Amino acid sequence: MMRQYELVERVTRYDPDANEDLLNRAYVYAMKAHGNQKRESGEAYFNHPLEVAAILADMKLDDATIAAALLHDTVEDTGATTEEIGEKFGPEIAALVDGLTKIKQLDRVTREATQAENLRKLLLAMSKDVRVLLVKLADRLHNLRTLEHVKPEKRTRIAQETMDIYAPLAGRMGMQLVRDEMEDICFRILNPDANKTICDRLDRLHAESGDVIREIERALMKVFQDRGLNAQVFGREKRPYSIWRKMERKNLSLDQLSDIFGFRVIVDTLDDCYRALGMMHRAWRAVPGRFKDYISTPKQNDYRSLHTTVVGPHHMRVEMQIRTRIMHEIAERGVAAHALYKDTAEVKVAETGAREGAAESNAYRWLRHLMEVLQEGDSPKEFLEHTRLELFHDQVFCFTPKGQLIALPRGATPIDFAYALHTSIGDSCVGCRINGRHAPLVTTLNNGDEVEIIRSDAQVPPPAWEAIAKTGKAKAAIRRATRAAIRKQFAGLGREIVTKLLERHKLTYSDKQIAAAVPRLGHKNADDALAAVGKGDLSGTDILKALGIAVDEGDIKEARRRLAQKKPEKGGASAIPVRGVAAGMALKFHTATGAVPGERIVGIVTPGEGITIYPIFAQALEQFDSQPERWVDLAWGVAEEGQRFPARIHLNLVNEVGALAQVTQVIGEQGGNIDELQLVKREGVSDFFDLTILLEVFDNRHLNDIMNGLKAKPSVTQAVRVTG
């Protein structure tokens, strides 16, 4: 265990002005608070926060962050309180410890939704003080280093969660050293066979090629010394997980990888970076298509370097990264290094494209963008999906006609580009020009494309765009627009129902009157209350009661019947509102069952005929189990007002006078429509009839209302949905 004075000396070596008293007090307080607590390995628990502090000291972080690392588990795992931490160490450290404690508490609840909420909390705390993230990542890294002491199931879960969230998050914040170590540890746990195969192959390569890294280092240094350039060269071998990821991405075998070695060239100035590049390309042949300039166009995590691949000694392909010392620090330690160098002229110019004085880094801009998505009301599950999309992607860089640079994930479309500019631009996008030419919105963008978005105020983003978009921001915005359209539709339906009810009482509908009744209904505003009526979550009679009007329950049925008689606007019912199919694809419903909004649906492709829509419970789907290529995952879109959908039901009727009239009466009162009816007398049984009806209804709730009404009739002994 590291001694108290050793930690203080480690911090004061890089920060002579560090508050030694603060560090000493935090060390003693945490050690006493954790007392005799033990970790699963059997060692003293205090060793964990001490090692977290050591990791952060290696990153050369400030004394407040080191103190917060020592204290980060005290509130969660001991009798200490946030108030006590604030009294003894000040509000700054108390806020850091509190942010970490709230995150940690969530690890004790259930998984996916909680993992999403955990990430929300972390990012919100980060947005206030990024040091919360640094302590959290150091905490996770030390836990990974000691993961062999936990049970196998827990070990696998922690490793997978790290691969999903924390390692890519460290990468997006520029902390490459932390990310590399996290990924290698998790790779050994999650895929031990692949890790061993790669390590064995690297060992054989060492034996066959000798000290090739030192040989190439010397050759490079000679190139630079002969031309008078002051440079340092560091050779390294790619890490096992990096090799594995490249094999998967490019579909290569281990023997096909030719650039296992990489070299970093560290120079004094920006100009020297480009001089070094020219010297290498004159000395050795460059591999075409392998040059990237991340100095003029930095990555979103502030990474800046020149990348090239050359054919070096022994005809080996060698990857080169050329950067200054400051670039190297930021490339290795990301936001942890940014604070040390943000005031230098080089960083200001490189980060902002020579816009002097702009202090916000690319990593912080990404975080701010993620906060915008978080605050716009997505569910935790959607937020986790969108964040993962943001964490995992290669990039393409495109430009607006005015020269603004937009970074997007590889495979992005003009839809993503429009939403990256602004949500309102995406929502109103109707077309685009790529490099001056009109192009479809589904076009995949390439590096350097100039994209102009064509807009119309009358446009509403179609739900099908969600399947086309690649970025979390675009997907989130399209979903919000879809939800808003559905809400608007239901609100319109609810307004019509309430209007009809008021007319029966010789009263006129008024938004102001409805708004006054909203507090008594438990909704935020009039539109929410009306949408609840349209969905069926709230009865129209409840609105009237809130207005102080005496009504009977038959009024709502009357309003629904009148609404059902209203003809939809031209073109409203011609299209089936589903998402997940290409524009122009022919659609039809499975005739034996039908399908209605609210039911889970899938599509089956029939060549030459289009797609047939089935409810997920349809027995007919079993015949397609061996043909997964024909299955299409569908979801309901926004239906036009008054649009109906088919649903086939089966009834068992008592053979008595008026039985059929009871059935048609219920369907008529509930606003349903009979499209087809088949009545069959049971063979050898004179007391009962089988009746199959193809109904036209608005949605699943409407269908259930009709079914419940039928079941209540004495002549109906059974009412079920036909499963086909």
Is 528 among the catalytic positions?
no
Do 367 and 123 contact (CB within 8 A), yes or no?
yes
Task: Please list the alpha-helical segments (H only) found in 652-693.
Answer: 659-669
- The DSSP bridge partners found for residue 397 are 407
The rounded distance, in Å, linking the Cα atoms of 338 and 605 is 53
For the CA atoms of the chain, what is the radius of gyration?
A: 33
Cβ contacts of 121-124, under 8 Å, gap ≥ 24: 123/367, 123/370, 123/371, 123/374, 123/387, 124/371, 124/374
Indicate the DSSP class of residue 335: H
Half-sphere exposure of 517 (CA within 13 A, CB side): 21
3 state DSSP class of 689: strand
Which one is catalytic: 15, 77, 329, 385?
77
The rounded distance, in Å, linking the Cα atoms of 634 and 600 is 8
The rounded distance, in Å, linking the Cα atoms of 386 and 391 is 9
The rounded distance, in Å, linking the Cα atoms of 67 and 45 is 17
Cα pseudo-dihedral 526, 529, 533, 536, rounded to 10: 160
Task: Please list the alpha-helical segments (H only) found in 422-539.
Answer: 423-427, 465-468, 472-504, 511-521, 526-535
3 state DSSP class of 217: helix
Question: Nearest CA to 539 among 555, 516, 518, 515?
Answer: 555
Is 76 among the catalytic positions?
yes
Alpha carbon distance, N-terminus to C-terminus of the chain: 70
Taking the CB of residue 80, how many other CB atoms lie within 10 A of it? 21
The rounded distance, in Å, linking the Cα atoms of 243 and 238 is 6
The rounded distance, in Å, linking the Cα atoms of 188 and 204 is 19
Cα pseudo-dihedral 662, 665, 671, 677, rounded to 10: 70
Give the angle 507-508-514 at the CA atoms, nearest 5°: 100
Do 594 and 693 contact (CB within 8 A), yes or no?
no
3 state DSSP class of 129: coil
The residues annotated as belonging to the active site are 76-77
